[in-house]
Amino acid sequence: MLFNSVQYLIFLPTVVLLFWLSPRVVKLPLLLVASYIFYASWNPPFVLLIIGLTLFNFYWGKLLSRSTTNRKKVFLTGIIANILTLATFKYANFFLDTVASAVHLVSKQTPDFALNIVLPLGISFFVFEFIHYLFEVNKGGKPVDSFVHFALFAAFFPTQIAGPIKRYDDFMKQMTDTNPFKLEYFDEGLPLIVMGLAKKLLLADNLAILVQMGFSNPSAYGAPELWLFTYAFAFQIYFDFSAYTDIARGSAMLFGYHIPINFNLPYIAANMSDFWHRWHISLSTWLRDYLFIPMGGSRVSNWKVNRNILITFALGGLWHGASWSFVIWGLFHGLCLVVHREFVALKGRLPRLDVFWKSGYFHYLSMFMTFNAVCIGDVFFRLQDSKQAFAAVKKMLLFSPIYTADEAHHFFIAKETLPIIVPVTVTMVAVLFFSTLPLSKLIKDRAFDGVPQFIKGAFCAVLIIAMIVLIPTTSAPFVYFQF
């Protein structure tokens, strides 16, 4: 059941209505059952997987909290069990394909090891939540007493499939609190859902058409066109994923639950470190807390810090998908962070240039460079074929050729025979590109906070009407569903 489907438009109000009409003791079990129904709507047998993992982690957390002598062993066993589950479902085929490729290199024969394992939806998200739970219990956190609470923490349908990755202490506290019905929940939740749907259906889905056109055959386009498609993809993925988060947060809000934000104006980041404080915040903080810091974090020697960064981001890339292009994407981001670290150190050694470092010119130049660096990384994210991605990036960086060979001195994108959607989406990318900074600044300065609620309501109504007319006949699933 997708957030942008008619089924969800029926499912959500039904569950919200039942939730607020039910007596307090029934509320959480009802939400849990609804969450399992939500999950089962994709593939019923896989409900058993999420229930099985929940049971395991619930009891393992209790065991871990009681353990004293063999605590480390219990903790590691729990972590390994979770990682093995994720690896089996998500990486087994990738691993076997890599082995087959290696065999092919040596023996020139290609063995078929494929197991055709189906990747359960949202597994990367709920397994990360379980690992986080075991880490926190191991650090001395109190294990969850109620199975229903714990099961709902993992299965809560707004965040079940694509996050944000929740923290159990925050979420548990909200479940144990008595939440009387407040209309404010709807006043806060509804705009988030409408904005999310508008981002997904009006922006991301339309941009996807241009992106698909460009990245289905990148060799056919010149460098400026590839930059255009990459910008389009950067905006598509941002609107797609942040739309999911908005709908998830809005849906959770209708039940009175607060879910952490996942994006904070990422495209105005002034450097890569800043970018990761603004992009997929729940993942970046998870990687920091449960991967980077346990490896030593930044309290080790300089080269080890850089190594830790590269490992963290390579694994972060792999978390996104079982493909080498995701690993390259992760390594690229890791490398950018390392370069930024070294650059910060260099800046410190050049105090004479302080005026420039602190100037607005440098700030805007940094933002521009960071955005473009993110876009280059996005080529690897979008193109699953690493060779194709490297060729496209080479073209983009060298800015050559400007035109493609078969369309000498003409941009293919400017052809009059292309359907109307192409010039419309190209215009859309241009508008987004030039409006991101001023709009982000307004949001940052909280310029919209003082807008009266009834104006916000009217804006939501306008968006709903626009969506009714303009949404495509079919809407693609959210990009982050595949992870």
Partner 1 sequence: MAPNMTPTAKALTGTTFSCLACLIAFNLIINALFPAGLPKFQDTANLWGTQVAKLPPLMQAKNNSDVLIVGASGILFPSVRCDDAFYKRQTRYDDWYMKYKIWTYSKSDYFANLLGKRLGKDISIANSAVGGCMMSDQYLILKKYLASGKKPKMILLFSGPKDFLDNHRTKIEKTSTYVQLADLPVRIGDIVQGNTRCDTAIPELTEAVMQSISSFYFYRDDYRAMLAHETAKITHHPEDLKKATAMLGSDDKTPLTKQQKEEAKERADAKFAPAKDAKDLALFRKIYLPINNAQFEVQSKYFEKILALAKENNIPIQVTFMPLTPQHTGVLPPETWKRYKDTVRAIAANAHVPCWDPVQDLHFQPDDFEDSAHLDAAGGQKFFKYLTDRICDDPRICQTLTDQKVLIGQH
Interface with partner 1 (CB under 8 A) = 183-184, 186-188, 190-191, 194, 416-424, 452-458, 460-462, 464-465, 468-471, 473
The answer to whether the peptide bond before residue 164 is cis (omega within 30 degrees of 0) is yes
The answer to whether the peptide bond before residue 401 is cis (omega within 30 degrees of 0) is yes
Look at residues 253, 299, 261 and name the one whose alpha carbon lies nearest to residue 280: 261
DSSP type of residue 200? I
CA distances to 92, 96, 290, 445 from 103, in Å:
16, 10, 34, 57
Q: Which two tokens stand for residue 282?
A: 């729940």
Cβ atoms within 10 A of the Cβ of 15, count? 21
Burial tier of 373 (Cβ tally within 10 Å: 0-12, 13-18, 19+): buried
221 conformational bin, left if phi > 0, alpha if psi -120 to 50, beta if neither: beta
Residue of 104, 258, 280, 320 with catalytic role: 320
Q: Is 320 one of the catalytic residues?
A: yes
Please answer whether residues 144 and 153 qualify as being in contact, where contact means their C-beta atoms are separated by less than 8 angstroms: yes
The H-assigned helical ranges of 202-271 are: 205-215, 223-254
CA distances to 38, 118, 230, 458 from 155, in Å:
9, 19, 35, 34
Look at residues 95, 142, 85, 135 and name the one whose alpha carbon lies nearest to residue 115: 95
- What per-residue string of b and e applies to 287-312 under the rule 16 or more CB within 10 Å gives b? beebbbeeeebeeeeeeebbbbbbbb
Please answer whether residues 127 and 53 qualify as being in contact, where contact means their C-beta atoms are separated by less than 8 angstroms: yes
Q: Which two tokens stand for residue 230?
A: 């990459």
Please answer whether residues 15 and 34 qualify as being in contact, where contact means their C-beta atoms are separated by less than 8 angstroms: yes
Please answer whether residues 162 and 248 qualify as being in contact, where contact means their C-beta atoms are separated by less than 8 angstroms: yes
- What per-residue string of b and e applies to 215-246 under the rule 16 or more CB within 10 Å gives b? beebeebbbbbbbbbbbbbbbbbbbbbbbbbb
What's the CA gap between 251 and 196, in Å, rounded? 11
Look at residues 347, 349, 314, 338 and name the one whose alpha carbon lies nearest to residue 328: 314
What's the CA gap between 394 and 339, in Å, rounded? 20
**Please, which residue, 115 or 469, has the CB nearer to partner 1?**
469
Q: What does 6-59 look like in DSSP terms, one character per residue?
A: HHHHHHHHHHHHHHHHS-HHHHHHHHHHHHHHHHHTT-GGGHHHHHHHHHHHHH
- Catalytic center residues: 320
